Amino acid sequence: MSIQFKSITQLREMLDNKSISSEELTKETLRLAEDLKELNCFVTMNENASIEKAKSIDSANDLNSILAGIPLAQKDLFCTEGLRTTCSSKILSNFIPPYTATAVEKLENAGSITIGKTNMDEFAMGSSNETSYFGNVHNPWKKGYVPGGSSGGSAAAVAAGIVPAATGTDTGGSIRQPAAHCGITGIKPTYGRVSRWGMIAFASSLDQAGPLARSAEDCAILLNEMSGHDSKDTTSLDLENIDLLKSINQSIKGLKIGIVKEFNLGDLDAEVQSCFENSKRLYESLGAEFVEVSLPNISASVPTYYSIAPAECSSNLSRFDGVRFGHRAENTGDLNDLYIKSRSEGFGDEVKRRILIGTYALSAGYYDAYYKKAQQVRRLIKNDFELAFKSIDLLMTPTSPGAAFAFGSKGAQNPVELYLEDLFTISSNLAGLPAISIPHGKVNALPVGLQLIGNFLKEDQILNAAHIFQQNSEFHLDKPSMEDF
Amino acid sequence: MDQETVRTICYLARLEIDKDKAQKIENDLETIIDLIGGLQAFNTDNIEPLYSPLEQTAFKHEDIENSDNQKEKFLKNSAVSNEDYFLVPRVVE
């Protein structure tokens, strides 16, 4: 029986009724990954260790966890002890971490099996997965098209049916946008919900880990395990975890959904608008009410983000110096020369661009004009959300202005063109809010996503609204034909 | 953004730009600076910067030593080291 495209719940049932063992499931998953390697969604496979773990799960049979024996893929930004972790960068192309990220460790402790590490934009800087040192990832729906980014490898691996779910990280839309472009579901939790310990930092006040899967229900299963306080992360929230699986399947009658006036959805492609209107009608038929809300400073989201994120990136990436880990240039002169050559050889163009912008924004004479100013505008954006959430339960937007695009067709001449891909996703990172993307139709035969943004710590509400949508539609069940691969 | 500014920030960031890419990088930086320059249009008088969405003080824990010396584990990832140290070019003659 094929395991391709199966959900976690379906695989759990197969494992429980012994129609497959975890060892067979893991081997079959690895075979699928090999058969579909043209997608380029994996950077490193974990064959031997994953088969060994599967055997031990089969023989122990004592883990009372939905994830016991289920194969997952991890974004190659999470440190995994003994398993190469590259961030899809030349500078970390030989890095074997001495420890495992908390979010991955929690999933593994629940019995899941890490089958490999997924390709991504270098250091998560990109919206198309075209900045990876290890090459582009193909969108399973159309060869030669981007899967979105930065968690493009994770999204493609799930969309291609290789694994039922994968981890991702989201700094400005890096879970939600690839989920949308690949026709799957992905949630960025509230900032602080999931530990960032062991995640290679890009922008520390924006980064957050979360799951990508083929349904909101499967996302809830992963997020249940990934969440929770971690004393190793000083920004980790110390809260009692709620069971997200128990929170879904509640009626949404009377749910108040806000539509952001300033997003001018009328300017979008007619097919994107049509998907959005159809989803609105579906929610209305299920009892939800729509109200227009104003976020007066939302147009500042993209410039605010592209000031703050590069500033934090330039600071975080200063640790890559060729001395303690990572690529070290040869034939260097003094220590300064060692730093310059190692970093210049190790980083790709987009990463260099962002480090330079961040260095500029933080340098003497410009700090107040760019960095501090952006943090002040960030507060205005957060205040707008706080006011809006006094009268609504959640916000609804398209995830992305359009569907996936062909390799090289955006941002090559002007990087800002690609930055605008994040128009609808960035603001929830700036404000720290949870947001989910679910598939809700197609444009030119490629999937597009619907984004639901929740109030602080309201993952249960957006997962429930997403689950109810999926209980009453079939977009999330649609699969790519994969005939080109 | 002029060439001198680009050279200065490259040095501050300890990065070198290939000569054939210098003009493109300069243009890109100029475009991005123009984008973030748009923030000046927003009135932020008396607005406190928001450095983290959590706005809570980082929690503290007792300062108790809780890990073994893992020197070998950490030195293993260095391209050049001896049994005790990461090695770099001589800085003191």
CA torsion sign for A196, A198, A203, A207 is negative
The structure tokens listed for A17 are 């009724």
Residues of A in contact with B25 (CB under 8 A): 349, 352-353, 356
How far apart (Å, rounded) are the C-alpha atoms in residues A157 and A51?
19
Closest CA to A166 of A255, A226, A87: A226
Which of A171, A232, A378, A419 would you mutate first to test chain B, the one with the most B CBs within 10 A?
A378
CATH number for the domain formed by residue range(s) A8-252+404-477: 3.90.1300.10
How far apart (Å, rounded) are the C-alpha atoms in residues A425 and A217?
22
Residues of A in contact with B47 (CB under 8 A): 376, 379-380
**pLDDT computed for residue A389 by the predictor:** 98
Quickly tell me which residue has 């941002």 as its tokens: A411
Contact status of B19 with chain A (Cβ, < 8 Å): no
Rounded to a whole number, what is the distance in Å from the CA of A141 to chain B's nearest CA? 31
How far apart (Å, rounded) are the C-alpha atoms in residues A173 and A435?
9
The residues pairing with A454 across neighbouring beta strands, listed in sequence order, are A394
Closest CA to A172 of A148, A141, A193, A156: A148
Query: Looking at the partner chain, which of B36, B54, B61 has a beta carbon nearest the beta carbon of A306?
Result: B36
How far apart (Å, rounded) are the C-alpha atoms in residues A230 and A223?
15
Residue A1 clears pLDDT 70, i.e. is over it = no
What pLDDT tens digit does each residue of chain B (93 aa) get? 788 899 999 999 999 998 888 888 889 899 999 999 999 999 999 999 999 999 877 777 788 877 778 899 999 999 999 999 999 999 887
Tell me how crowded residue A287 is: count the other CB atoms within 10 A of its CB: 12
State the first-to-last Cα distance of chain A, in angstroms, to the nearest integer: 21
How far apart (Å, rounded) are the C-alpha atoms in residues A113 and A53?
7
Mean pLDDT of chain A: 96
**Predicted ipTM > 0.90:** yes
Residues of B in contact with A303 (CB under 8 A): 35-39
Rounded to a whole number, what is the distance in Å from the CA of A320 to chain B's nearest CA? 10
Query: Looking at the partner chain, which of A307, A323, A360 has a beta carbon nearest the beta carbon of B39?
Result: A307
Contact status of B82 with chain A (Cβ, < 8 Å): no
How far apart (Å, rounded) are the C-alpha atoms in residues A137 and A118?
10
User: Which one-letter DSSP state was computed for residue A199?
Assistant: B
State the amino acid at position A353 in one-letter form.
R
User: Which one-letter DSSP state was computed for residue A142?
Assistant: B
Phi, psi at A199, each rounded to 5°: -85, 130
Q: Using the beta-carbon criterion (under 8 Å), do A431 and B53 form an inter-chain contact? A: yes
Contact status of B22 with chain A (Cβ, < 8 Å): no
The structure tokens listed for A105 are 């460790």
Catalytic (active-site) positions of A: 75, 150, 174
- Digit-coded pLDDT (tens) for A275-313: 999 999 999 999 999 999 999 999 999 999 999 999 999
The structure tokens listed for B88 are 């770099």
- Digit-coded pLDDT (tens) for A388-409: 999 999 999 999 999 999 999 9
Q: What's the per-residue H, E or C state across chain B?
A: CCHHHHHHHHHHCCCCCCHHHHHHHHHHHHHHHHHHHHHHHCCCCCCCCCCCCCCCCCCCCCCCCCCCCCHHHHHCCCCCECCCCECCCCCCC
Contact status of B79 with chain A (Cβ, < 8 Å): yes
- By C-alpha distance, the chain A residue nearest B71 is A98
Q: Using the beta-carbon criterion (under 8 Å), do A376 and B58 form an inter-chain contact? A: no
- The pLDDT of A81-110, averaged and rounded, is 97
- By C-alpha distance, the chain B residue nearest A354 is B29
Q: Using the beta-carbon criterion (under 8 Å), do A430 and B54 form an inter-chain contact? A: no
Rounded to a whole number, what is the distance in Å from the CA of A20 to chain B's nearest CA? 38
How far apart (Å, rounded) are the C-alpha atoms in residues A451 and A399?
5
- Digit-coded pLDDT (tens) for A156-192: 999 999 999 999 999 999 999 999 999 999 999 999 9
Q: Comparing A129 with A421, which gets the higher pLDDT? A: A129
How far apart (Å, rounded) are the C-alpha atoms in residues A146 and A136?
8
Residues of A in contact with B1 (CB under 8 A): 360
Residues of A in contact with B8 (CB under 8 A): 363
How far apart (Å, rounded) are the C-alpha atoms in residues A302 and A304?
5
